[in-house]
Amino acid sequence: MKYTSISHIEKLKANGEKFSCLTAYDATFAGVMSEVGIDMILVGDSLGNVIQGQKTTVPVTLEQMEYHIDCVSRGNQNCLIAGDMPYMSYSTPEEAYDTARRIMQAGAQMVKLEGGAWLLDTIQGLTVRGIPVCAHLGLTPQSVDALGGFKVQGRDQDTAEILLDDAKKLEAAGARMLVLECVPSELAKKVAEELVIPVMGIGAGVDVDGQVLVLHDMLGISPFQAKFVRNFMADANGDIKAAIELYHQEVKAKNFPAPQHSFD
């Protein structure tokens, strides 16, 4: 069985090709995504919102993340799996090492964590220990209370410069991938151009290297639809597998996200 590797995603970026990612939380959807050809699955702490009915991702526990990663890994055939490290499970480097061990042993091939320059020592430590890291900047859902809500980040020059500087520092520390969430398209494009590592966007425009959406959002079954979401199931006449395949095709063809799904 051949799995998509981080190196494969890096080659896609080097060749100017886009990669697709969706969240999944169970074996069945992981199997569908594998069959369709989705490049990467994120087992996100977004499960707190779409599976548990929580208002934020903060209540999600490490044990719950392990359970869902294990489920996804059983159904997966070829996608790269990244697993979120949940709220306050990586507040120190030592805590992060133990959390990452558990995430990886549950079946992930990469861990994702939210935050900027304060994570540099942690990312360096994870990297030298052989744990691939995906960083996350912009709107960081675990910090939504500190951010004052779900708001676009990096819209003024000062915060944009900080975000770009943090992105470069995270890459230098050893991060193998970066997620940008709810960031103006021009800023996201600049980050993707200046970093060697793949940059994946959610609400960050079409000029990053890959796209990720929450599964329930792109199927149009979440109670709230953000500006950056497209209802692919409506476009696929209610066929779930066709909707996932359409998403994959539209990302690869650089048709998604369109301007109406992006921020100025």
**Residues placed in the known binding site for Mg(2+):** 45, 84, 114
- The question of whether 181 is a catalytic residue gets the answer yes
C-alpha to C-alpha distance for 143 and 158, rounded to whole angstroms: 20
Q: Which residue has the tokens 């050893």?
A: 174
Say if residues 152 and 179 touch (Cβ distance below 8 Å).
no
Tokens of 169: 């520092």
Tokens of 158: 């000062």
Catalytic residue chosen out of the listed positions 181, 186, 194, 250: 181
Residue type, 131: I
C-alpha to C-alpha distance for 8 and 84, rounded to whole angstroms: 21
Binding residues for 3-methyl-2-oxobutanoate: 45-46, 84, 112
C-alpha to C-alpha distance for 60 and 115, rounded to whole angstroms: 17
Say if residues 142 and 164 touch (Cβ distance below 8 Å).
no
Q: Rounded to the nearest 10 degrees, how much is the dihedral formed by the CA atoms of 156, 203, 48, 68? A: -130
Which residues does residue 213 pair with via DSSP β-bridges, in sequence order? Answer: 22
C-alpha to C-alpha distance for 146 and 148, rounded to whole angstroms: 5
Angle between helices 157-173 and 120-128 (to 10 degrees): 20
Binding residues: 45-46, 84, 112, 114
The catalytic residue positions are 181
